[in-house]
């Protein structure tokens, strides 16, 4: 006989996890207990010795709950169940814990478990192999606003929906497992679901509920979930209308076995067997050739570590000890077969081999390597703490981490890297005098500091058939003279191309392209004019063989109008020489691109998606993220109105929350046909004013490099535009 003794809504105060504002402080926890027992003797005799003393249970549970300290509500629930069964000899108990202050937009979050005395009887467990369990983690009455429904006003106005989630853990909740993994983390699940819901526009509640289940399972790796959705505004004379569904991984035909498996799939690199640990490492240097030091450290990670991704590179002001040179900082993501202590030894050996010696703490060093995250673990020893305890106060760590994995959640603070950075920038400890500026290093000791100005790339077409200046600089003397003119007018980079990429242009044999560009590059590098001989040179080609020959003769940057689409070996050339590469969006070839201008409903999203795929292939081929510049490809597989739309919406291309967020952007609009159409100017050389307007629009949206024919005139445009939109604006990408 299973009678029940019920203790309802017992409130205790406990520091457990974080509250709705993500603060570690005491918060209310509501406890509901159902004690399963046989009350027949007490009911028939009315004799106290046969009665369950619920007063004593309540006092003990209250005392235990308020004096204990757990990181997870699941562990607290199991500990309370164990207390009830072992101390009061209860055969079976159901424990439901609710945290009403856990989430800003939900009534509560919590856990419900049922335990029997066999669960805590080691002899019983060893004989039976453990018992079945039905643990549940839940989020109750999550209120969100979204577009949902088929009526005209439902398509126009957001309405409130109430979402209830029940998550079925992948393992039995246990007080000995006092940690939260991503599939059980209601805060991460709610954050991910809420973002999806607020941006969605479903017509049916059924599709809406299914999408929530899909997001929870495929992005948060939940094993099984119940989703209940209600629309309070759906019916005039009813409280709500809605739907409830149960879905599992098998329903979506998606096998997500572990967090590491999912994370490793982000990178398509071949990861050796046994490299099962995913680690994020911060790198810094302020002695010697800092950028070369960071690159050398990455090289020395092999063979026990495989670099999967890198951040952008930053020049940063020193912290703690401020009387020292600025630092160069970055971060990387690696797969490794080493445990935390073994990895620490590996990193310390790299530091030592690269010349780091013991000096004052936070002083100058040729290389500094810190483990920030190691899988999802919390780890403390006499020599190492993971996650890194000071990361929350270091913008020079947080910003590079956000480049790689903005949504990565701190396993102890329950905040993503993006949230930690946002919180730091708003905290009293933040000082605007400390700077973290994104940079690009070029081999001839040039450094582009992206936040300081819009850079200008001067065009030298060593071709007979370019649309604007074909045939003008076909011999070395005229090309060299033009290069000197562009540099004197203020060009920061020279872009040299030996193959016309105008619409309908024929491809040029590789040998001919090489013969056109190499003499010009050699002439510039051997010039007696120091400014000209040291100018960064970009090779405008989509052939890997041309790119490598140009680099071997003095080019510093690869500018590929196909984004690597026409010759993927070009990525390995960029990686081999550790040089920047400009990846432009294009479809087809110059011969066919104008027949490939059909995009789906969102032009910018389509361009970003297609170019992002190129970026991922480049990174997987070994190109450092800090060496990648993106270009939406104005005039390449774009119609007239599409070119204008790109300029109008350029801030969506690589702006906040876009796929290409943070990547420096090059824009090439100079003298192009869409400008001629707007201004009714058929002669390309007479399109300067229109080019100036297009360049201004690009700068206002955050373009970092302008590729132009007329450097002198466009430099004035840049100076004025930068004064309006860029000067004194702290870099936030």
Query: From CA 416, how far away is CA 407, in angstroms rounded?
Result: 5
DSSP track, 251-311:
GGT-----HHHHHHTTS-S-PPTT--EEEEEEEEE-SSSHHHHHHHHHHHTTTTEEEEEE-
Cβ 277 vs Cβ 335: under 8 Å: yes
Helix, strand, coil tally for the chain in percent (to 5) = 35, 25, 40
Alpha-carbon distances of 226 from 111, 196, 337, rounded to whole Å: 14, 17, 37
* 709, two tokens: 């024919």
What's the rounded Cα separation, in Å, for the pair 575 and 299?
A: 12
Task: Please give the Cα distance from 229 to 212 (Å, whole number).
Answer: 10
Q: Which two tokens stand for residue 272?
A: 């050796």
Closest CA to 525 of 551, 545, 558: 551
Active-site position among 263, 399, 707, 726: 707
Q: Known catalytic residue: 638? A: no
CA dist 342 and 576 (Å) reads: 29
Q: Locate tokens 């905040």: which residue?
A: 415
Query: For residues 332 and 307, is the Cβ–Cβ distance under 8 A?
Result: yes
643: alpha, beta or left? (left if phi > 0; alpha if psi -120 to 50)? alpha
Residue bearing tokens 């207390």: 83
For the question of residue 672 being annotated catalytic, the response is: yes
What DSSP state is assigned to residue 70? Answer: B
Decide: 606 and 586 in contact? Cβ < 8 Å: no
Q: Please tell me whether the peptide bond between 27 and the residue prior to it is cis, using omega within 30 degrees of 0.
A: no
Instruction: Give the CA distances from residue 410 to residues 22, 70, 416, 421, in Å, rounded to whole numbers and listed in that order.
Output: 12, 17, 6, 12
Distance CA 670, CA 557 (A): 20
d(CA 336, CA 434): 33
Give the span between the Cα atoms of 312 and 332, in whole angstroms.
Answer: 9
**Strand, coil or helix: 224:** strand
Q: How far apart are the first and last CA of the chain?
A: 65
Strands (E), 469-589: 493-497, 537-540, 557-560, 581-584
Copy the structure tokens of residue 41. Answer: 């003797």
Q: Which of 672, 712, 729, 730 is catalytic?
A: 672
* DSSP SS3 for 648: helix
SS3 (DSSP) at 98 = strand
Could you tell me the two tokens for 209? 């509920």
In whole angstroms, what is the distance from residue 646 CA to residue 606 CA? 11
**Dihedral angle at the C-alpha atoms of 430, 434, 437, 443, nearest 10 degrees?**
-140
Question: Tokens 């090059």 correspond to what residue?
Answer: 666
Separation CA 668–CA 716 (nearest Å)? 17
- Pairing relation of β-strands 455-461 and 705-708? parallel
Strands (DSSP E) found in 196-240: 201-202, 224-231
What H or E segment, with its residue span, contains residue 202?
A: strand 201-202
Pick from 597, 668, 600, 665: which is nearest to 634 by CA? 668
Q: Which residues are tagged catalytic? A: 672, 707
């Amino acid at each position: 006989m299973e009678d029940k003794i019920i203790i309802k809504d017992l409130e205790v105060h406990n520091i457990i996890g974080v509250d709705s504002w993500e603060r570690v402080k005491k918060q209310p926890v509501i406890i509901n207990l159902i004690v399963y027992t046989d009350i027949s003797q007490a009911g028939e005799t009315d004799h106290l010795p046969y009665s369950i003393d619920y007063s004593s249970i309540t006092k003990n549970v209250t005392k235990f709950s308020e004096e204990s300290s757990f990181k997870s509500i699941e562990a607290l629930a199991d500990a309370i169940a164990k207390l009830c069964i072992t101390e009061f000899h209860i055969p079976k108990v159901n424990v439901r814990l609710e945290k009403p202050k856990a989430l800003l937009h939900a009534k509560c979050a919590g856990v419900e478990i049922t335990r029997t005395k066999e669960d805590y009887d080691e002899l019983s467990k060893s004989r039976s192999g453990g018992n079945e369990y039905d643990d549940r983690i839940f989020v109750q009455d999550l209120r969100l606003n979204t577009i949902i429904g088929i009526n005209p006003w439902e398509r126009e106005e957001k309405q409130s929906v109430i979402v209830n989630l029940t998550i079925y853990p992948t393992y039995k909740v246990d007080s000995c497992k006092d940690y939260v993994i991503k599939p059980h983390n209601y805060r991460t699940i709610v954050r991910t679901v809420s973002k999806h819901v607020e941006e969605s526009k479903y017509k049916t509640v059924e599709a809406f509920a299914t999408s929530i289940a899909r997001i929870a399972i495929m992005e948060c790796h939940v094993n099984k979930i119940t989703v209940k959705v209600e629309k309070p505004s759906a019916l005039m004379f009813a409280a709500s209308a809605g739907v409830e569904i149960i879905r599992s991984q098998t329903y979506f035909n998606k096998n997500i076995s572990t967090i590491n498996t999912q994370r490793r799939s982000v990178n398509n690199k071949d990861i050796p067997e046994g490299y099962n640990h995913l680690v994020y490492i911060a790198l810094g240097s302020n002695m010697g050739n800092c950028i070369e030091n960071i690159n050398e450290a990455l090289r020395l990670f092999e063979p026990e570590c495989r670099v999967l991704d890198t951040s952008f590179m930053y020049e940063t002001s020193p912290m703690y000890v401020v009387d020292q040179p600025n630092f160069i900082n970055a971060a990387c993501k690696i797969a490794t077969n080493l445990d935390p202590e073994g990895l620490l030894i590996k990193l310390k050996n790299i530091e030592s081999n690269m010349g780091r010696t013991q000096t004052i703490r936070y002083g100058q060093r040729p290389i500094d390597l810190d483990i920030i995250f190691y899988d999802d673990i919390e780890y403390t020893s006499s020599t190492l703490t993971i996650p890194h305890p000071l990361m929350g106060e270091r913008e020079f760590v947080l910003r590079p981490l956000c480049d790689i994995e903005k949504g990565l959640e701190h396993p102890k603070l329950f905040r993503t890297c993006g949230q930690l950075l946002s919180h730091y920038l708003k905290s009293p400890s933040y000082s605007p005098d400390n700077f973290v500026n994104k940079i690009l290093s070029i081999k001839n000791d040039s450094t582009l500091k992206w936040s300081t100005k819009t850079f200008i790339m001067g065009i030298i077409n060593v071709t007979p058939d370019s649309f604007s200046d074909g045939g003008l600089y076909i011999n070395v003397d005229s090309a060299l003279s033009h290069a000197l003119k562009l540099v004197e007018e203020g060009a920061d980079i020279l872009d040299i191309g030996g193959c016309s990429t105008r619409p309908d242009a024929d491809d040029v044999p590789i040998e001919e392209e090489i013969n056109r560009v190499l003499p010009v590059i050699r002439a510039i590098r051997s010039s007696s004019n120091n400014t000209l001989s040291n100018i960064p040179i970009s090779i405008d080609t989509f052939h890997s063989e041309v790119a490598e020959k140009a680099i071997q003769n003095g080019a510093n940057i690869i500018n590929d109008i196909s984004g690597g689409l026409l010759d993927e070996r070009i990525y390995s050339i960029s990686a081999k020489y550790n040089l920047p590469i400009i990846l432009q969006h294009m479809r087809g070839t110059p011969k066919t691109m104008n027949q490939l201008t059909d995009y789906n409903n969102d032009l910018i999203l389509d361009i970003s998606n297609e170019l992002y795929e190129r970026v991922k292939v480049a990174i997987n081929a070994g190109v450092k993220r800090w060496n990648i510049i993106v270009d939406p490809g104005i005039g390449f597989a774009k119609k007239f109105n599409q070119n204008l739309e790109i300029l109008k919406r350029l801030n969506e291309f690589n702006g906040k929350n876009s796929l290409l967020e943070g990547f420096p952007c090059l824009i090439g609009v100079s003298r192009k046909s869409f400008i001629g159409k707007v201004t009714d100017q058929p002669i390309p050389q007479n399109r300067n004013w229109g080019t100036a307007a297009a360049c201004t629009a690009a700068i206002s949206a955050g373009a970092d490099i302008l590729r132009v024919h007329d450097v002198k005139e466009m430099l004035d445009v840049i100076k004025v535009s930068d004064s309006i939109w860029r000067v004194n604006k702290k870099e936030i990408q």
